[in-house]
Structure 1
Amino acid sequence: MTTLLYSLWPLFALILGGLALRRWNFPGEAFWPAAERLNYFILFPALLFSSLASAPLDNPALPRLALAVLLALGGAWLALLLVRRLRGWPAARFGAFSQGILRFNTYLGLAVVGSLHGQPGLALAALLLALMVPAVNVLSVWSLTAEQGVSVRSLLWPIMKNPLILACLAGVLVNLAGVGLPGGSDRLLGLLAAASLPLGLLCVGAALRPQELHGETAALAWNCGLRLLAMPLLAYAVAHLLQLPSLESSVLVLFFALPTAPTAYVLTRQLGGDGHLMAAIITLQTLMAAASLLAVLFVLGS
């Protein structure tokens, strides 16, 4: 337990630090959107690209993780569709609830995996992201546009222009080409990647909106419970069913135990979803994850 606390508290300290800095208006309101864009389009893709460019793609974990993601995400999605039919949610609310349950905070996930499992864990996490990021993007767009009719272009376009997905694809192509990262490029990418996670966690904190945590108490409570407790239980059941090795199980369960992604708010606003509900879900899940992640990792024995 002490080891877990030592691993997690600096990460959540950075998140709370970002929240405090934003409230104190330091270094200025214009800084945070610019920092988030820098991280999203350059620093974080550098981390994913470098991880996949050097990852062993013949890793037998890849097909196992792909099947695990299919079973876990597929099961959660089918359950969401059933509940939507029973409750009659409009797309604006269904999109917010779905993203609250299916999406995950990538910055926090990689920071926790790196802190607990080092480079082997990060290599597995990069493979997992290459599988999960496209899937959750498609399901998120689908859930928010369920009443408008969904075209193939509307589903695929957000994926084709997503810098994280493009970085994963480029890393895989470089890996398959066997050219490696020559001439010190590995060092350059390493420096960019090292800046990504702390800046990302500060931006996560700066994006929180505690003022949105009023009303919708029941909806926030069940959505938070499903994401932070039921989803990791589902992932653990899938890992047990597939008899995944301990490291793969740990990384899989961890990513299903993460709070939802702050970028879900932007997508929700762009596609006409319930922005107030989405902001409240993101804020509550991120704050509650400090305790829930500790509990999940303790049960896993990480």
Structure 2
Amino acid sequence: MLELLLALWPLFALIVAGYLLRRADFPSEAFWPGAERLNYFVLFPALLFSSLAMAPLDNPALPRLALAVGLGLGLAWLALLLVRRMCGWPAGRFGAFTQGTLRFNTYLGLAAVGSLYGAPGLGLAALLLALMVPAVNLLSVWSLTAERGVSARSLLLPIIKNPLILACLAGALVNLCGLGLPGGTDRLLALLAAASLPLGLLCVGAALKPEQLRGEVSALGISSAIRLLGMPLLAGLVAHALQLPALESSVLVLFFALPTAPTAYVLTRQLGGDSQLMAGIITLQTLLAAVSLPLLLRWLG
């Protein structure tokens, strides 16, 4: 347990630092949106590209990993549809709960995988992102626009333009073509990638809104329990049923146990969803993950 805490506490220390820095208005309020854009469009794609470009794509466990992702997300999505029918949620509320259940904080996930499992874990995490990011974005957009009706173009365009998805596709293409990262390209990408995770975790902390925890206590608690406890349990059962190797099982369960992504708030607000509920879900899940993740990882061994 001590080793897990030593690996994870610096990650949450950066999240707390980001929150305190924004509260202190340092360096300025205008800094954080620019930092998020730099990370989202440049630094983080560099990390994903380099990880996938060097990942072992011929790993025989990968087809099972793809099947596990499909089963896990599919079962969770069917459960959400059933609960929506029972509770009569409007699209705005349904979209917030969908993102609180299916979306995940990629910055925290990759930082945790890198600390615990090193380069092999990061390669598998990049592959997981290539599988999960398009599916989760598609379901998030659909859930927020279900009542208004949505065209195939409006569903697919955000996915096609997503820099994380493009980086994953490009890295996989370079890998499959055997091009490698010659001429110091690997070092350049490593420098960009090294800046991504610390800046991303600071931005996660800066986006926290504790004031949004005052309302809808039961809804926030249920969403957090499902995401931080129910989803990793589902992933663990799927991994066991498919007999995934130990490292693949651990990385899969870890990603299903992450708190939801701060970018879910932006998407919810843009598409007219319940942004106040979404902000509360993001904040509470991120705070509770400081306790749930070490306990989960100890359970994983």
- Relative to the length of structure 1, the TM-score reads 0.99
Q: Which residue of 2 aligns with 1:208?
A: 208
* Number of aligned positions between the proteins: 301
Deviation at 1:58, TM superposition (A): 1.1
In 2, the alpha carbon distance for the partners of 1:277 and 1:134 equals 24
Q: Which residue of 1 aligns with 2:37?
A: 37
| Corresponding letter in the other structure for 2:130 | A
Q: Which residue of 2 aligns with 1:162?
A: 162
| Corresponding letter in the other structure for 1:45 | P
Q: Deviations over 1:12-32 (max 9, x none)?
A: 000000000000000000110
Deviation at 1:154, TM superposition (A): 1.3
- Identity of paired residues, percent? 79
| Corresponding letter in the other structure for 1:244 | L
Q: Which residue of 2 aligns with 1:233?
A: 233
Q: Which residue of 1 aligns with 2:292?
A: 292
Over 6 Å off, 4+ runs = none
Deviation at 1:173, TM superposition (A): 1.1
Q: Which residue of 1 aligns with 2:2?
A: 2
| Corresponding letter in the other structure for 1:61 | A
Q: Matches of residues 148-159 of structure 1 in structure 2 within 5 Å? A: 148-159=148-159
Deviation at 1:150, TM superposition (A): 2.1
Q: Deviations over 1:263-298 (max 9, x none)?
A: 000000000000000000000000000000011111
Deviation at 1:176, TM superposition (A): 1.5
In 1, the alpha carbon distance for the partners of 2:56 and 2:202 equals 31
In 2, the alpha carbon distance for the partners of 1:204 and 1:226 equals 21
In 2, the alpha carbon distance for the partners of 1:60 and 1:84 equals 38
Q: Which residue of 2 aligns with 1:193?
A: 193
In 2, the alpha carbon distance for the partners of 1:155 and 1:168 equals 19
Runs of 5+ consecutive residues of structure 1 not aligned to the other structure = none
Q: Deviations over 1:43-66 (max 9, x none)?
A: 000000001111121111221111
In 2, the alpha carbon distance for the partners of 1:120 and 1:53 equals 13
SS in 1 for 2:179: coil
Deviation at 1:175, TM superposition (A): 1.1
In 2, the alpha carbon distance for the partners of 1:39 and 1:215 equals 31
SS in 1 for 2:89: coil
In 2, the alpha carbon distance for the partners of 1:55 and 1:247 equals 14
SS in 1 for 2:121: helix
| Corresponding letter in the other structure for 2:188 | L
Report the RMSD for the aligned CA atoms in angstroms: 0.5
Runs of 5+ consecutive residues of structure 2 not aligned to the other structure = none
- Relative to the length of structure 2, the TM-score reads 0.99
Deviation at 1:155, TM superposition (A): 1.1
Q: Deviations over 1:108-166 (max 9, x none)?
A: 00000000000000001011110000000000001000101121111100101000000
SS in 2 for 1:104: coil
In 2, the alpha carbon distance for the partners of 1:75 and 1:129 equals 18
SS in 1 for 2:72: helix
In 2, the alpha carbon distance for the partners of 1:41 and 1:61 equals 30
